[in-house]
Amino acid sequence: MNLWVILAAALFLGSVLISQKIAVDAASKLDDQTRLRIMKIFPKRNMQYTVAVYSVPLLFLIGLYYFPEHALKLWLIYAAFFAVYFITKFTRTIRTLKEIDAPGVYVGSIATSYFAFSAGAILAFVVLLVSGFGRAY
């Protein structure tokens, strides 16, 4: 593993933290009744999100380290998993928030949070792409 891989991982995990900060700040501005409705619906999803967001990239990096000869396959699997997971989670979350009549400003902040997350993921991918996917040449 080289500096490029570490940089990409830091960018990705940093975007996760920024995304969470945006979501937490948006939730702090909700009235108690709306916050309670949201908290009843999303706690299990948030735990699954946290586990997936931190464990999948870690497993991916471990796989790259131990199986560099399968780097392309690992990248394809990781990219497919990430894209499906992100799109599914985003659409389910926004749909659920609209169903429970969450304020539009809150829904917009959550969408911004998702876009911050995806921007970090894309930036991390670009860093790895430029670096030859972490291979030292």
pLDDT of residue 1: 60
The CA distances from residue 86 to 3, 6, 29, 107, 130, in Å, are 26, 22, 25, 16, 23
Q: Take residue 112 and report the two structure tokens written for it.
A: 């911004």
pLDDT of residue 41: 83
Burial track 24-57 (b if 16+ CB lie within 10 A, e otherwise): eebbeebeeebeeebeeebeeeeeebeeebeeeb
For the entire predicted model, the pTM comes to: 0.73
- Backbone CA torsion sign across 36, 47, 93, 7: positive
pLDDT of residue 86: 85
| Per-residue confidence in pLDDT tens, the chain, 137 aa | 688 888 988 999 999 999 999 999 999 999 999 988 888 887 766 677 777 778 888 888 899 889 988 888 888 888 888 888 889 889 999 999 999 999 999 999 999 999 999 999 889 888 888 887 656 44
Amino acid at 11: L
Amino acid at 78: Y
pLDDT of residue 31: 92
Q: In this structure, are residues 97 and 14 in contact, taking their beta carbons and an 8 Å threshold? A: no
pLDDT of residue 38: 87
Place of tokens 């040449």: 137
pLDDT of residue 137: 42
Region at 134 (left for phi over 0; alpha for psi -120 to 50; beta for the rest)? left
pLDDT of residue 46: 67
pLDDT of residue 68: 85
